Amino acid sequence: FARGLLSARNQPCVAASGEAVALKANVELPAEAILALDHGAQGIGLYRTEFLYIDRSSLPTEDEQYELYRAVVEAVSPHPVTLRTFDIGGDKFASTFALPAEMNPALGLRAVRLALSRPDVFMTQLRAMVRASAHGDVRIMVPMVASVHEMRDVRKLLMRAMAEVKSRGLPHAARIPLGMMIEVPSAAVMADVFAREAEFFSIGTNDLIQYALAIDRTSRSLASLASPFDPSILRLIYSVARVAAERRVPVSLCGAMASDVLAAPLLLGLGLRDLSMEAAAIPEIKEAIRRVELAECKNAAEEALACDSAEAVESLVARVFAPRF
Ligand code: PEP
Ligand code: MG
């Protein structure tokens, strides 16, 4: 199975039954964008911008960010780049922010909450992203959204950032889609409501698992309990995918689950057609998708949704899919 995987990078990602699946890359450092294309990525589904704020004494300037985003957007064009606004706090530390000590940082001032509490820093990032939109297909994604007010506030700030860039005589795309991560259970449950606020969804299973199962994602001793195959996680994903299809909101999935060769066919069966993962995993996932039929993925997903435990789902996918990969 592993042989010839890289040579598959120019093959289309279609299931054996013909359905196309977009495979995109999660990247952090700008150099990874080229690696992503080498592995056959059809764009950047998640550009994590936290690295800009980590291990340094001053905040990144607008120009510095713009140059970095622009380099990635130009390298990947005409494919899309989804720039995620900074997801600082929780397990992602940043010395440049004087974050308060909290008992539960994963439940504290992080990501969009931190951004909205520091509009000066957030606006600098939004303006840099807006300017980068002049160079390709840029989308902006908000992490850790838990309530509609957050999306409304971010949209207002994005409109202001676009107006500011324009008033300086600088170019930007006429439309910049604003979407959100679905990684907090409240957002998954309220996906129908969020469909009116967000132009796209991306399901972040790393945090969704952490918050749905109440298992710290950094805990080694509990890692075996935090299974992406837990039926509660599959039900949340299925419900978001269904709502997104009904409301015609594009939906992708960008957690580590997307790069699990036994999970990917299940995700297809749950309705997903757009997955984003670390670049190195793309050839293997593509090959796996090329070997499955949608009907068997749907059957497996239906059976998995009715399972009572992660173990039951794990043995189901091992029985149905593992022999082929
Ligand atoms: C996630 O939570 O699944 C995700 C993709 O974001 P991160 O891992 O950066 O929190
Ligand atoms: Mg996350």
Nearest in space to 232 (alpha carbons), one of 132, 123, 312: 312
Question: What does the pLDDT look like over 193-237, one tens digit per residue?
Answer: 999 999 999 999 999 999 999 999 999 999 999 999 999 999 999
Pairing of strands 80-84, 22-27: unpaired
Indicate the range of 1-10, 226-235, 251-260, 285-294 predicted with least confidence. 1-10
Rounded to whole angstroms, how far apart are CA atoms 41 and 251? 17
Q: Whose CA is nearest to atom 6 of ligand 1?
A: 204
Say whether pLDDT at 10 is over 80.
Answer: no
Listed in sequence order, the DSSP H helices in the chain are 32-38, 62-76, 111-117, 119-132, 148-167, 185-189, 191-194, 205-213, 231-247, 263-269, 282-290, 294-305, 310-320
In total, the chain counts a number of residues equal to: 325
Angle between helices 148-167 and 119-132 (to 10 degrees): 60
Predicted pLDDT of residue 308: 98
Protein residues with C-beta less than 5 angstroms from the ion ligand 2: 183, 204, 207
The protein residue whose alpha carbon is closest to atom 4 in ligand 1 is 204
Band (55; pLDDT cuts 50, 70, 90)? confident
Question: How confident is the model over 15-35, as pLDDT tens digits?
Answer: 999 999 999 999 998 899 999
Best mutation site among 141, 253, 254 for ligand 1 pocket (most ligand atoms within 8 Å of CB): 254
Atom 9 of ligand 1: nearest residue by CA position? 48
- How many Cβ atoms from other residues are within 10 Å of residue 5's Cβ? 16
Percentage above 70 pLDDT, the chain: 97
Q: Is 207 in the pocket of ligand 1 (CB under 6 A)?
A: yes
- 59 vs 130: CA distance, rounded Å: 18
Give, using CA atoms, the residue closest to atom 7 of ligand 1.
206
Q: Is the pLDDT of residue 248 over 70?
A: yes
Q: pTM for this structure?
A: 0.96
262-315 pLDDT, tens digit each: 999 999 999 999 999 999 999 999 999 999 999 999 999 999 999 999 999 999
Residues 155-200 have pLDDT tens digits of: 999 999 999 999 999 999 999 999 999 999 999 999 999 999 999 9
